[in-house]
Structure 1
């Protein structure tokens, strides 16, 4: 544990630890380099447990990709959720608790792509589940149905089905040239179809019908005067 492939990454990890120590953190456990050859030291970082950390430290702001475990205390579940969400990253979370219900409740509130209850990274082993992060941890998913769909090109095709006396037509207020009340008509039409409550929908529907009636009346009048 502690082997690193990236060039100069050990130095970056040590800089994160040093920054935390300068701001009041404390190392409570750390592994040793062991019997490593001189050329291997640059590609190894000892497992490190560090306490008294906070979110002013770079260690809690940047991804480490190294064997460093920073530990923060919390007083309430709400505080734990707030601390976990106070990050620009959001790949995975592991919630441990003696209460399964409590752990699930906490996990449901953390903004991330994958979550494990009383386990770590088990979601990655379930290849039927989508895997991926949110925020600065990326976008998109692989594995699962969502992962397969991400590899597909989705095409939407719409056609009029034949029904007696029924045909889709463009309403006159939004036919070219667009009428002066075209935007109001479109806005009311959307509200009538997708309004948040029945009263907003009814009010919008009445306005749609009124605009259509006024438009038809105006068209008929123009034809007679023409």
Structure 2
């Protein structure tokens, strides 16, 4: 009994001096799954224009902010991390930014009384491909890390497609003479490319993590 008590005391002292690191891989995987869900909602909104889906995206953004704050707090309090703190921080913030731009897109469409069109739908579909790749990649960290590099490249490829679609959308948009409508829609297209830009940053961070771990 005394021997077991001594081991228990030693374990408590060890945990106090060198506490167990939080499961940052699990936190990033969960956050990336939440991002994928929001982008799925964005696609559904671009397919239907339904106000209830817009409201869901807005709610997701509030929840995402809470996750970001909680994850950054966990990072700041952690004694040690399995990868560079800066990489974890960049991933947390860029994942959250993707959700923010999804919210900004639907909010401004509502404020400007704009309906989805074929361009916003196709751009959103590419964002979903990228979000799914990020979710796959972050879910592999710590147990199948090397393969996550392919997911990072898949996300980057999707963001490049968004940029191509954006240029096509602009070319179509500026064919007429309804300049007010043109500038309104350009703002919406730009929000979607901003989401893609943050997605590209996130993919680069994922790739950096993989390179440092393998």
TM range (shorter): under 0.3
- Which structure has the bigger radius of gyration? 1
* TM-score for both structures, normalised by structure 1: 0.19
Structure number having the greater strand percentage: 1
* TM-score for both structures, normalised by structure 2: 0.19
Structure number having the greater helix percentage: 2
Looking at both structures, which has the greater relative contact order when contacts are Cα pairs under 8 Å and sequence separation is at least 6?
2
